[in-house]
Amino acid sequence: MPDPGATSDRAVTPDHGATSNRSVTAGHAVERRGSAGCVITAGGAYGARLARDGDCWFPERWTLDGPEPYAVPLPGNQPEEPGTEVQPMADGRVLIRRPTDGRHAFSLLYPTGPCTGELTLGAVECPDEGTRLHLLPPAPCGERAYALAVGRHSTAVWLVAGGTFGPEHLAEIPGRCSGGVWLDRTGRMLALDREVDGRTKAVVVDLERGGEVSPLLQIAADSDDRLLLADPDSGLLLISSDAPSPGEARLGWGVLGSMLPVRFPESLRPPDLTLTPFASQPGQALLPEACAVALRIDGSYGTWVGVWRPADRQLHQLTAPDGWLAGSGLWTPEGVLRLPYATEAEPCGVAPLTTPSATPPSSPAAPPAGPTTTAPAAPRPVPLQQAPLGRLVTK
């Protein structure tokens, strides 16, 4: 339940025995290795992450929409504990979730002179040790933030920032849910991967209709079907399913609201590599096959970047910048992929990658030799079956 002591506003003076504001601000002369990835607002104006000062962690806000990116440290009275999450808001404040003994406290942080201002929002109680709570991806509007509390038999959706009286319980969904993908630009339709009776299927939760749940993705009766990424402009969906290869999760794509089948191209199945989509190119209205997707690629010799479009049927593999906050980045409508990175020499940077343009399918190229080469063109994807994606019906 919400904490009755919500909405108090205070300034936090750094504890100089732990993480002092001065030591962080002076050129950011801190140890950055092992820092967490960067969470970016849907609009791309701000990012937030936990940065590292020696063995201590503190929140940091990145401003990304100016001539040059810059970071503002937001340390509190003491270093942050493991399990802390941060998320930027559209107005430049940073939401922080601090877990302590079955209780999750939420506050908004902002810079105020030499100190960190903190607006406490309240807390969500999770007394059951089996319940896990985490923030959902940034809402499209940037004015609200949501969290998922996963219990033993059901999952709760909470509005934790942007409400009227602190955290608000919005919906209770039967089954254990994971993931979290926004399907529209208003923040109404939320896709979750729900596990029931040992099978996982993507469903849609309508937050304006009391958390009404409807099916989204059901490829086969005995398959696990998860939604990894959705582009609201083009309707492109990236999914994971073991339907085409039982026991092996494969990446596939479909179009929201389309009656065409889900496809599982070989170009998204490179041997001995793990692909994780993290950003899609905006502004591709009604052009799902031309919509570019950025993927994190993990292999035995490191982590780098992949770019893929359905029309290309190729996975372009590109070198990531040094210090890339792996798995984070955003596209511009013009097709430039911007990747945040942090090194000792440049603690707040954004590397623009101009990616290959969409081209008609070509003959297979030579096999790739490393992360800077291009994977061979794959044959036309063969549909698994006529497995349409569920339409979103709003009344």
**How confident is residue 207, by pLDDT bands cut at 50, 70 and 90?**
very high
The listed range with the strongest mean pLDDT (20-24, 154-158, 285-289) is 154-158
pLDDT the model gives residue 129: 86
292 in Cβ contact with 361 (< 8 Å):
no
Structure tokens at 79: 């270093």
Mean of pLDDT values over 32-38: 52
What backbone torsions phi and psi does residue 135 show, to the nearest 5 degrees?
A: -75, 145
Mean of pLDDT values over 214-229: 95
- Proportion of the chain above pLDDT 70, given as a percent: 81
Q: What is the pLDDT of residues 315-361, one digit of tens each?
A: 999 999 999 999 999 999 889 999 999 999 999 999 999 887 765 44
Residues in the chain: 395
Count CA atoms within 13 Å of residue 101 on its CB side: 0
Which SS3 state, helix, strand or coil, does residue 285 take?
Answer: coil
Q: Is the pLDDT of residue 16 over 50?
A: no
**How confident is residue 249, by pLDDT bands cut at 50, 70 and 90?**
very high
pLDDT the model gives residue 354: 84
Rounded to the nearest 10 degrees, how much is the dihedral formed by the CA atoms of 81, 85, 90, 94? Answer: -10
pLDDT the model gives residue 114: 86
Mean of pLDDT values over 94-117: 95
Task: Detail the DSSP E strand segments found in 242-301.
Answer: 250-255, 274-280, 293-299
**How confident is residue 37, by pLDDT bands cut at 50, 70 and 90?**
confident
pLDDT the model gives residue 184: 95
Residue 374 per-residue DSSP state: B
Count CA atoms within 13 Å of residue 164 on its CB side: 1
Q: Is the pLDDT of residue 379 over 60?
A: no
Q: Which parts of the chain fold into alpha helices (H)? A: 21-25
The whole-angstrom separation of Cα 211 and Cα 196 is 17
- Proportion of the chain above pLDDT 90, given as a percent: 71
Q: Is the pLDDT of residue 377 over 60?
A: no
pLDDT the model gives residue 358: 63
Q: Which residue has the tokens 């079907």?
A: 225
24 in Cβ contact with 57 (< 8 Å):
no
Mean of pLDDT values over 248-269: 94
Mean of pLDDT values over 30-45: 68
Structure tokens at 175: 């089954």
What average pLDDT is seen over the chain? Answer: 84
pLDDT the model gives residue 304: 97
pLDDT the model gives residue 260: 86
Which SS3 state, helix, strand or coil, does residue 177 take?
Answer: strand
pLDDT the model gives residue 389: 54
Q: Which amino acid is at 201?
A: K
Mean of pLDDT values over 3-17: 38
Q: Distances from the Cα of 277 to the Cαs of 229, 292, 329, 352, in angstroms?
A: 7, 11, 11, 18
Count CA atoms within 13 Å of residue 48 on its CB side: 25
pLDDT the model gives residue 359: 54
Q: Is the pLDDT of residue 383 over 60?
A: no
Residue 22 per-residue DSSP state: H
The whole-angstrom separation of Cα 153 and Cα 329 is 34
Q: What is the pLDDT of residues 139-165, one digit of tens each?
A: 999 999 999 999 999 999 999 999 998
Distant-in-sequence, close-in-space partners of 307: CB < 8 Å, separation ≥ 6: 292, 293, 294, 295, 315, 316, 318, 337, 355, 356
Q: What is the largest CA-CA distance in the chain?
A: 65
Mean of pLDDT values over 222-243: 96
